[in-house]
Chains A and B, each alone.
Chain A
Amino acid sequence: MTTLDILFGAIGLITAASAVLAVTTHHLVHAALWLVVTLGTLAGCYLVLGAELVALVQLLVYVGAVVVLVLFALMLTRAPMGPSPEHSSSSVQRIAAALIGAGTAALFASVLLPALGGELRPTRAGDTKGIATQLFGTWVWPFELLSVLLLVALIAALAVSRMPKQPPAAKVANEPPAARVPNEPPVARVPSTVAGGESA
């Protein structure tokens, strides 16, 4: 066991435990808060692996922005504060999901661990200068494309949230005329009630 092993083991244990808690807890808000712990300790894992820049970006973007978005979404959708087991699916589906999740983990482990698991490797000290040189040299076009992607996502989020409730309203407005033709009386009665309401 090296020092990095012990450090990574300690931080990784917290990460794994909080990740499992984030997907199993019955409190909606607790799930988001366990996600904060998972992402924060994952930044610590990146630090141990020698990727300081990625660790800082993880803290800034994930813990700072994404989790706030999740909490906002929970509050805007009126998430209950107490435990809400009705947001979990049936026990049969949960057992099936646990089996599939464990199977996926076992599949990854059976592929990754025999291939690379036994090796003792030196981690490279994070050289931010080298990353910057490559990021703005080799990777500059994907980088620029990502800025366009962010702009598209911004506009898309705006368009989705400002979308008028046209399709259901149009459907309701279009369907009744077809259905209304056979039974005339309701149509004839609507203006009279409206007129009555206006006169009153």
Chain B
Amino acid sequence: MIHLWLPLMLVCVLVGAGAYGVMSRRNAVLVLIGVELLLNAANLLFVTMGSVLDDRLRTGQVLTLFLITIAAAEMGVALAVILALFRDRGHIDLSEPGS
């Protein structure tokens, strides 16, 4: 038995921290860390709902597995883009305009 406000509160904190990280950072890799936190908040919500709702299709956990895979693929492409950006500009500061 678990009180649902605990995981839901954690979801809210993760979403807030992720949104803050995306908007307040200038380094592109640190922005990606914020995106990861947002994705993990979605994952936690999926798992919480999947574990307390009686779902025959196991949607919560299966969709979490899918989302983890998608996040890994996104991370690979995003880091390739960041490295290409770094080779092109010499820095990955998102607040400076490109050449």
Contacts and interface: CB of A to CB of B under 8 A. Distances in A.
Contacts of A126: 51, 61
Given A116-B8, A139-B62, A157-B76, A124 B51 contact: yes
A105 B71 CA distance: 22
Contact of B61 (A20, A28, A51, A119): A51
A120 B2 contact: yes
Given A16-B13, A150-B73, 18 more contacts: A8-B2, A51-B50, A51-B51, A61-B68, A61-B71, A69-B75, A70-B33, A96-B23, A97-B19, A97-B24, A101-B17, A112-B8, A119-B3, A120-B4, A139-B66, A146-B70, A157-B76, A165-B87
Interface of A: 1-2, 4-5, 8-9, 12, 15-16, 19-20, 22-24, 28, 31-32, 35, 38-39, 42, 45-46, 48-51, 53-54, 57-58, 61-62, 65-66, 69-70, 72-74, 76-77, 79, 87-89, 93-94, 96-98, 100-102, 104-106, 108-109, 112-113, 116-124, 126, 130-131, 134-135, 138-139, 142-143, 146, 149-150, 152-154, 156-158, 160-161, 163, 165, 168
Contacts of B12: 105-106, 108-109, 112-113
Given A87-B27, A112-B12, A120-B1, A5 B6 contact: yes
A76 B81 CA distance: 13
Interface string B40-63: 100111011011101011101110
Given A22-B33, A73-B29, A104-B19, A4 B75 contact: no
6 contacts: A19-B37, A38-B40, A94-B24, A105-B15, A131-B61, A168-B99
Contacts of A15: 10, 14
B57 A31 contact: no
A135 B81 CA distance: 32
B16 A101 contact: yes
A102 B16 contact: yes
B62 to A, nearest CB: 5
